[in-house]
Amino acid sequence: MRGEETSSTPVDVDSMTAEERTRIGVRVAAWRAAQNMTALELSEASGVDRKTIRTIERGSRAGQPAKLRAILEALNVPQVGDFDSFGERTRAFIFSTAPIFEELPNAVKDEAQADVVSLLAGKVRRAANLSPFEKRRDQEETQARSLDARERFNRTLEKYGFEGQIAARGGEVDSLTDDALLEIAAAIEEIHSEDHHQ
């Protein structure tokens, strides 16, 4: 991607009226220009023919939803449906940061968003340049966190007498993420804590 400018708000093509799908053409042209991308390059990246792209950009007629989605994806414009394809940790990050971002005054939201994007882009660059030793250390730290999560989960089950029931569902438990295991352990502890105080 040669440019960085895209929409900060996810676009929901499927909920757009024909008129809205016509009006978005101007924004498509602006997003393409911001990335120094030619219509031919966008056509190749999206699988939508160049004539259709030009028609959409001029606002001559409403783009078909499937073609608009392909064009926006090629331009790296966030779309509402993208959220479903994100991994669990990405969704957790969005859920944990969105309420904080919502509390910010509008005057500083653009700056805050730019700061977060810059920080994450720096982390991506750093991860790409990690030495083999650093990559191995990061993997070991991740494995240690995973072991801690499963150990806490197993200790909690044992403490409250659930281990027999869970053992019978071993395969299902093995497929749970570390975050899910920790949430289950915390919920069990909370339930028993409430029972104890009643």
Q: Name the band, by pLDDT with cuts 50, 70 and 90, for residue 4.
A: very low
Query: What value does the mean pLDDT of the chain take?
Result: 79
Question: Which is more confident, 58 or 145?
Answer: 58
Where are the domains positioned within the chain?
Answer: 13-84, 86-128, 143-197
Q: Would you identify the CATH topology of the domain 13-84?
A: 434 Repressor (Amino-terminal Domain) (1.10.260)
State which amino acid sits at residue 142. T
Cβ pair 19, 25 in contact under 8 A: no
Residue 148 has pLDDT above 90, yes or no: no
Q: Judge whether residue 5 has pLDDT over 70.
A: no
- At 169, the pLDDT band (50, 70, 90 cuts) reads low
What does the buried/exposed string (b/e) look like for 53-62 if buried means 16 or more CB atoms within 10 Å of the residue's CB? beebbebeeb
64-82 confidence digits (pLDDT tens):
999 999 999 899 888 877 6
pLDDT for res 109: 86
Segment 10-55, tens digit of pLDDT: 788 888 899 999 999 999 999 999 888 899 999 999 999 999 999 9
The candidate with the shortest Cα–Cα distance to 184, out of 172, 168, 196, is 172
Query: From the CB of residue 38, how many other CB atoms can be counted at a distance below 10 Å?
Result: 11
Nearest to 36 by CA among 78, 86, 1, 66: 1
Tell me, what's the pLDDT at 167?
Answer: 53
pLDDT, position 166:
56
Task: Kindly state the average pLDDT of the residues 107-123.
Answer: 84
Answer whether residue 159 shows pLDDT above 70.
yes
pTM of this structure:
0.45
